[in-house]
Amino acid sequence: MPIRQFQAQRMRAPRDFQPIDSTPICVEIGAGKGKHALLFSANHPEFQLIAVERTREKFVAMQKQHQLEGQNNLTPIHADALPWVVHALHPAQVQQFFILYPNPEPHNPAQRWLNMPFFEFLLSRLQSGGQITLASNIPEYIEEAQQQLIDVWKLPFVKERIAETSARTHFEIKYLERGELCQQLIITKPVDYTTRFDDFQPLQGKQPTEVSAE
């Protein structure tokens, strides 16, 4: 089934929105309490990582741990990732996206990341050759995402089994301890890939009325 076009210009600015500069960055969506974000930024000082989390208490836990560890290449953001991405990110700015153990949305398949029209917008923010890592403990979630990559998004990917010793996130630790199969898709954006949002500039906190009046 074809996916309708995402209405980016209708996204209201996140509360207390702060613009970011346009240098290359990595972005984690749904970072939880920030275990992966803290590890990744400590192990990769050459990358700038922005870690977005919608749930306040988890964001606060990430922020507190970040204050203790002090990585200056990590920026935790408390926001819903959809409006934040539309308002903050420039086309082809992102080197890597991480979406690790997203909510499975059992009663709302349309809210899974690769089923959303927003996914096309996300792809427009990714550099050519950039990657999206999508991890899940639910085999059907991975299979569905894989099928969407083939049928809708026409993107190359590799599927990997996550090692039992891996401990990148709180959810990963919990699922692997229970003996569950954890898998990830590493999705790559080809050089000649285009989307309908490639010229869409970040809204930078403007509200929809200001955008449509331009």
Q: Would you tell me which residues interact with ligand SAM (CB under 6 A)?
A: 29-32, 52-55, 58, 80-82, 100-103, 169-172
Report how far residue 92's alpha carbon sits from residue 123's, in angstroms, rounded to the nearest whole number.
8
Residue 132 to residue 184: CA distance in whole angstroms: 10
| Cα separation, 44 vs 75, whole angstroms | 14
In the complex, least distance from residue 80 CB atom to ligand SAM, rounded to whole angstroms: 5
Q: How far is the CB of 26 from ligand SAM (least distance, A)?
A: 14
Residue nearest to ligand SAM (CB): 30
Min separation Cβ 123 and ligand SAM, Å: 16
**What is the C-alpha separation between 11 and 149, in angstroms, rounded?**
25
Give least dist CB 33 to ligand SAM, A.
Answer: 7
Among residues 4 and 56, whose Cβ is nearest to ligand SAM? 56
Q: Closer CB to ligand SAM, residue 141 or residue 193?
A: 141
Please identify, using beta-carbon distances, which residue of 120 and 172 lies nearer to ligand SAM: 172
CB of 99 to ligand SAM, least distance (A): 8
162 vs 193 by CB, closer to ligand SAM: 162
Q: Which is nearer to ligand SAM, 55 or 128 (CB)?
A: 55
